[in-house]
Structure 1
Amino acid sequence: MHAIDPGLTALAEGGDAYRDKFEPVYRRTTTAPNEQWQMDHTLLDVMILDDKQTPVRPWLTIVLDDYSRAVAGYALAVSAPTSERSALAFHQAASRKRHASWVVSGLPDVLYSDHGSDFTSARIEQVCLDLHVRLIHSRVGVPQGRGKIERFYRTITTELLPHLPGFIPHGTGGTPTSAPMLTLHQLDDVLERFIVDEYNERPHSATGTAPHARWRSGSFIPRMPAHSEDLDMLLLTATATRRVQRDGIRFASTRYVSPVLAAYVGEDVTVRYDPRDLGEIRLFRDSAFLCRAIAPERSSETITFADLQSARNTRRRALKQQLRSLSDVASSLPEDTRHRPAAAPLSPSEPDAPAPQSKRHRLRTYAND
């Protein structure tokens, strides 16, 4: 008696069992870095403390280079994924990193994601259109094409999270093994160190090469936007306008300064920022990039009093030169007599005024002459 084909059994059971186990899967093979990036979200198996010291499970958004398996960027949050979160992860992935050894950057030819509402939003579609990136979504309910990024999630879950306070083992119904202690910012630091110092630098089991080394191999030069400010305009979080004050910009209870702002006191600008790095903000005026402003107490950069004094003096000299130019132009124009009152004509009834007589010199005489 012959055993029943397992595929036949799965097909008879109906549902997606046959498709998930037996249907052939086409895996697109990339041949160069940044040819295709994958982006996806996952709910991490760890509890952390939010701003109100309440235990919450954070969401992780990952951008992975398909060819090298290197993590290009990520974003952490305590709320469900949004298009704004996806844009922030994409911004970090495409930008040059502050961490010198994290070299992955540039723009991909293809961005591959699932059918989540944040990935199918008009904002992400417009971003990809403006940056000349082809956006491709996986088939609804078919996750096999995202196997490489799912593998990274398993690496995080098995190698990093078990060593953190608040870890939630699989099958415990969401109960952590210890009390959560980390904040979102602290978890962000831990995750970045793991990605940059460990995951991207050790040989990958599928390629046999460290992701960073594979991404840097050959004569590959990443495609960058024409202007770095284009990424800021498209991907960073925007807020309401702020008015430039004499001491800079007030945003998020913090003062931001830049010498450029000396010429825009009293005018409104739009603030764009990265919630993970409030050491600096980007300022736009009429949809055009204006400058980057820093918070002296948060940023590693500094703006000295001499910088501000120089900016004030430069602005004052520019205004004085403009005033002199306008004065020179005004003095060279002919005198405007259009509004000068005309002399009043003499009334016909009035006699002509006597003509002025010239003064005559008479001979002086004396009484005894």
Structure 2
Amino acid sequence: MDGEERWRILRLHVEDQIPLATLARDTGVSERTLQRWHQRYRRDGFNGLDDHQRSDAGSRRTAAETVAFVERLALTRPRPSLATLHRLTVTETTRRGNPAPSYATVREIVRCLDPALVTLALEGPASYRDRHELVLRRRADRPNQIWQSDHTELDILIVGSDGKPDRPWLTTVMDDYSRTICGYTVFTGAPSAMNTALALRQAIWRKADPAWAMCGIPDILHVDHGSDFTSQHLERTAIALHIRIIHSIVGRPQGRGKIERFFGTINTELLTTLPGHLGPGSRTPTPSMDLPALDRAIGAFIAVYNDRRHSELGMSPRDAWVADGWLPRIPDSLEHLDTLP
């Protein structure tokens, strides 16, 4: 478990004042380990959490390749017994000319493995999902508590930059509580961290249109597990802005039903009215819109969507977000968002 993964757990105690005993119960990380992380964080800040090495019983640093060898065996199904693990490790380290670890050292390396990783490796995705995926996910009970971000390939052809037909993508950022669309970007080409960052930047900062009031820094950003969403750039930005990122497990896009329903609304209500729409069973249409024109059309539709009554909310998403009036957490200036392109 690297420093960023440790911080996602520890920040629940540091920022949300959740007791370490509660975190230990909910995450599977021992309370003693959490206390050690907290001491290192208070002493050295975030960098204090980014230490992958472990000490053996004699306080000597165990070689990284020995630790990796033990971890690899411990995550193999079926897992060998500790005695077998120790014997195989001694044989391997002797072959490599490294000091042989003690039985206690091997046991400590195994004990320090991330419980979620152990569950995934030894019991499979279903057990992982049941025990760990939703531990840190809460249903939003106020605006800007949880945002969701996702991509979709749109059912329309446009005139690309090279004059040829192109199929665009849409990235949106939705507030989980109010269903408002806080930010979006339309683009061509494969989804990337850049597209996610552009939509998130727009979502966070104040808009020129006063009717588009939604802004601020969310507490949680719930995203997919694609490479663009798991980029180090996005992770570091989230740490700087104090946003907790929660990823869906690969192949299990749980918690994104609301944003996927919005994508369906875009396809059925807007794109069907535009030239170049790709309908079921239709022939390939001749596109006539370019990317800026499609961007304007989607922007206008989002304004209508945010302001019209939502059947499940009983009010418009905008009214649900504004509620009785409250102050979102806003960066001091645009310069604070410079890490978001």
Superposition TM-score tier, normalisation by shorter sequence: 0.5 to 0.7
SS at match of 1:144: coil
Percent identical among aligned pairs is 47
Determine which of 149, 172, 178 is the counterpart of 1:68. Answer: 178
Q: Which ranges of structure 2 fall in alignment gaps of 5 or more residues?
A: 1-124, 126-133
Tell me whether 1:211 sits opposite 2:317 in the alignment. Answer: yes
SS at match of 1:151: helix
Q: Which ranges of structure 1 fall in alignment gaps of 5 or more residues?
A: 1-15, 17-24, 237-369
Partner deviation per Cα, 1:108-163 (whole Å, 9 max, x = no partner): 00000010100000000011000000000012211231100001001001100000
- Once the two structures are TM-superposed, the CA of residue 105 in structure 1 deviates from its matched residue by 0.4
- Once the two structures are TM-superposed, the CA of residue 214 in structure 1 deviates from its matched residue by 0.6
Q: Is the contact between residue 200 and residue 212 of structure 1 (CA under 8 Å) also seen in structure 2?
A: yes
Q: Which residues of 2 match residues 1-369 of structure 1 at below 5 A?
A: 28-172=138-282, 175-176=283-284, 178-196=285-303, 198-231=304-337, 233-236=338-341
Structure with more contact order per residue of length (Cα contacts < 8 Å, sep ≥ 6)? 2
Partner deviation per Cα, 1:253-273 (whole Å, 9 max, x = no partner): xxxxxxxxxxxxxxxxxxxxx
SS at match of 1:111: strand
Q: Which of the pair has more CA radius of gyration?
A: 1
- Once the two structures are TM-superposed, the CA of residue 227 in structure 1 deviates from its matched residue by 2.8
Q: Distance in 2 between matches of 1:222 and 1:41?
A: 25
Partner deviation per Cα, 1:20-59 (whole Å, 9 max, x = no partner): xxxxx99842111100000000000000011121101001
Q: Distance in 2 between matches of 1:103 and 1:182?
A: 29
Q: How many residues align?
A: 210
Letter in 2 for 1:199: Y
Q: Distance in 1 between matches of 2:321 and 2:333?
A: 23
Partner deviation per Cα, 1:49-70 (whole Å, 9 max, x = no partner): 1112110100100100000000
Q: Is the contact between residue 33 and residue 220 of structure 1 (CA under 8 Å) also seen in structure 2?
A: no
TM-score (norm 2): 0.59
Q: Which has the higher helix share?
A: 2
Provide the aligned C-alpha RMSD in A.
2.1
Q: Which has the higher strand share?
A: 1
Partner deviation per Cα, 1:272-315 (whole Å, 9 max, x = no partner): xxxxxxxxxxxxxxxxxxxxxxxxxxxxxxxxxxxxxxxxxxxx
